[in-house]
Amino acid sequence: MRPLTPVTPRARAVLGVSFFVLFVAVWAAVTFGGLVPKIFLADPLQMLRSGWVLMTEMDFAHDIGMTMWRVIGGFLIAAALALPLGVMMGAYKPVEAFFEPFVSFARYLPASAFIPLLILWAGIGEAQKLALIFIGSFFQLVLMIAVTVGNTRRDLVEAAYTLGSSDSSLVRRVLIPGAAPEIAETLRMVLGWAWTYVIVAELIGASSGIGHMITDSQALLATDQIIFGIIVIGLIGLASDLLFKWANRRLFPWAQLGR
Amino acid sequence: MNKSILQVRGVERRFDTTLALQATDIDIAENDFVTILGPSGCGKSTLLRIVAGLDVQTAGEVLLDGQRISGPGADRGMVFQSYTLFPWLTVLDNVCFGLRERGLPSEQQLDIAHGFLAKVGLKGFANHYPKQLSGGMQQRTALARALANKPRMLLMDEPFGALDHQTRELMQELLLGIWEAERKTVLFVTHDIDEAVFMGTRVVVMSARPGRIKLDHTVPLAHPRHYSVKTTAPFSELKAELTEAVREEVLAAQAASAALA
């Protein structure tokens, strides 16, 4: 194979699907074939059956809805605050010098380690879940947005000044629109991380949500339900990712050119 | 000679300890097309950037219409060597950029922008994005964008330097044609001697670093100029003299860097 040579879209789709098929086939082989006892790993059919039961009899849709609400809520709060702060840090170096060291430190604080504190401060209600997602995504977003804005091509900045831009219009008309596609990519990526935080938040002290269902299933050794829950998370993640990519392409057609 | 609109008075630029530009004086007359020639690293771009207000001199001052320059502004339009169209704006919106900054009503913006796009031969490309254009077309758009702003003078920093030879020659003719029609005052930096003679009403040669003005000649060629002027005797004579002058400086620059190594 020659490195970096592109594949046709058709071949790409076939290859992508075939790994899923292979994955399920191996899973089916080891479970149906008896290589792995049922108590450790349910087989694919069992997983689908209990998924059906979860959806039809145990109102799992409500859990999914709760989890999605928490992810989207916490993420939107984080993004709403991170966007202006990140842009300010990227554009104005004193602002960056003021916040950057703390944010760099804070982003390495493991969000899940805050759970005991957050339960103490915010109880085990929704506020605690949102706060955890906020902590997990806010600092990452701020830093990546600041870097993106700070990396604006200097010659574009100079061109804008020679066309009569003021400092504030430079931020509005050059720094923000120029950084927008990459900021949207950052949001897409960090939303994916937010999904891992929400499940952690729900594993401890939750009465609803996908993570809650998974903890409940653990007590019953219901690996079929656990796997179903994990797959649902994966599918929602994939769907939101595709949605984000589609929206970015629609919003920033110019950024797709020459790729 | 017309009255001078730009005066460079004792402008010097130091970077830490190295002197990039020696105290330089130059006057640019209204409607002149002044080309600045010199070996790379001689400080010609530095001088242009100081006039643009994008760099700050360590001594001296620059006056435009008698006013001291203290930063970049719309009165000095600039075309850069790199492609500096805003990639998120269409060709038309790029040309409108400065007009919008001035707060012109959008009808008027579009009117002016379409006019200048026609002048640079890009009528049918108003709704293209920069990445869909060739390098030459991008630089034509950048020229339209600078001119649409009606600057007092146009500063050009090797604007055709990244283009292939054939495109570059066509761009020279295009710019010269526009200049002959409008007589906008131009300060044009290049290291291409043919370009400097063909385009300029006046050629200035700068020495190797630290840069200073070494030669200052009026170009004895009438306007309008046809590209065939490049094969005439007066052209060749001036070119020969400038080639000699620039060559000395390139050799001096090489000797200087060899001495450092």
Express each pLDDT in B142-155 by its tens digit: 999 999 999 999 99
Q: Residues of A near B (CB-CB distance < 8 A)? A: 153, 155-156, 158-166, 169, 173-174, 177-178, 180, 252-255, 257-258
Mean pLDDT of chain B: 93
What Rg do the C-alpha atoms of chain B give, in angstroms? 18
Q: Which residue has the tokens 């200097």?
A: A154
Among B76, B78, B131, beta carbon nearest to A257: B131
Reported ipTM: 0.93
Q: Which residue has the tokens 């190797």?
A: B208
**How far is the C-alpha of A78 from the C-alpha of A132, rounded, in Å?**
10
Give the residue from B70, B101, B145, B147 with the most A CB atoms within 10 Å of its CB, the best one to mutate: B101
Q: Is residue B4 part of a domain?
A: no
On the question of a cis peptide bond just before residue B210, with omega within 30 degrees of 0, the verdict is yes
The CATH number of whichever domain residue B165 belongs to comes to 3.40.50.300
Cβ <8 Å between B87 and A173: no
- Angle A149-A152-A158 (CA atoms, 0-180°, nearest 5)? 130
Nearest residue on chain A to B149, alpha-carbon basis: A163
pLDDT of residue A204: 82
Cβ <8 Å between A163 and B98: yes
pLDDT band with cut points at 50, 70 and 90 for residue B258: confident
pLDDT of residue B196: 95
pLDDT of residue B17: 85
Q: Which of A119-123, B48-52, B95-99, B170-174 has the lowest mean pLDDT?
A: A119-123
Express each pLDDT in B12-22 by its tens digit: 999 888 888 99
Domain ranges, residue A127: 58-256
pLDDT of residue B148: 95
Inform me whether the C-beta atom of residue B71 falls under 8 Å from chain A C-beta atoms.
Answer: yes
pLDDT of residue B206: 92
Query: How large is the average pLDDT for residues B225-233?
Result: 92
Q: How many CB pairs under 8 A join A and B?
A: 77
Q: Comparing C-alpha atoms, which of A64, A26, A36, A39 is closest to residue A228?
A: A64
Q: Is residue A77 part of a domain?
A: yes
Cβ <8 Å between A163 and B74: yes
pLDDT of residue A258: 61
Q: Is residue A34 part of a domain?
A: no
Q: Is residue B256 part of a domain?
A: yes
Q: What phi, psi does B144 have (nearest 5°)?
A: -60, -40
Q: Is residue B250 part of a domain?
A: yes
Nearest residue on chain B to A155, alpha-carbon basis: B84
Domain ranges, residue B126: 33-48+77-260
Low-confidence ranges of chain A (pLDDT < 70): 258-259
pLDDT of residue B1: 58
Q: Is residue A203 part of a domain?
A: yes
Chain-centroid distance of CA B85 in Å reads 17
Confidence check: pLDDT of B88 > 80: yes
A-chain residues near B146 (CB < 8 A): 162-163
**How far is the C-alpha of A254 from the C-alpha of A245, rounded, in Å?**
14
Nearest residue on chain B to A175, alpha-carbon basis: B86
Express each pLDDT in B180-193 by its tens digit: 999 999 999 999 99
The CATH number of whichever domain residue A225 belongs to comes to 1.10.3720.10
pLDDT of residue A259: 52
Q: Is residue A42 part of a domain?
A: no
Q: Is residue B119 part of a domain?
A: yes
Q: Which residue has the tokens 């809650």?
A: A212
Nearest residue on chain A to B151, alpha-carbon basis: A163
Q: Is residue A75 part of a domain?
A: yes
pTM for the model: 0.89
Q: Which residue has the tokens 């254009």?
A: B133
Q: Is residue B154 part of a domain?
A: yes
Strands B153-157 and B185-190: parallel
Number of domains in chain A: 1
Q: Is residue A26 part of a domain?
A: no
Inform me whether the C-beta atom of residue B53 falls under 8 Å from chain A C-beta atoms.
Answer: yes
The answer to whether the CB of A213 falls within 8 A of the CB of A229 is: yes
pLDDT of residue A11: 95
Distance in Å, alpha carbon of A78 to nearest chain B alpha carbon: 26
Q: Comparing C-alpha atoms, which of B206, B207, B182, B203 is closest to residue B194?
A: B203
Instruction: Quickly list DSSP for B185-251.
Output: EEEEEES-HHHHHHH-SEEEEEPSSSB-EEEEEE----SSPPGGGGGSHHHHHHHHHHHHHHHHHHH
Q: Is residue A13 part of a domain?
A: no
Question: What six digits make up the tokens of B195?
Answer: 């370009």
Q: Is residue B95 part of a domain?
A: yes
Nearest residue on chain B to A255, alpha-carbon basis: B88
Q: Is residue B8 part of a domain?
A: no
Number of domains in chain B: 1
> What CA–CA distances, in Å, run from A200 to A118, A210, A224?
13, 10, 19
Q: Is residue B246 part of a domain?
A: yes
Which H or E run contains A242? helix A223-251
pLDDT of residue B39: 84
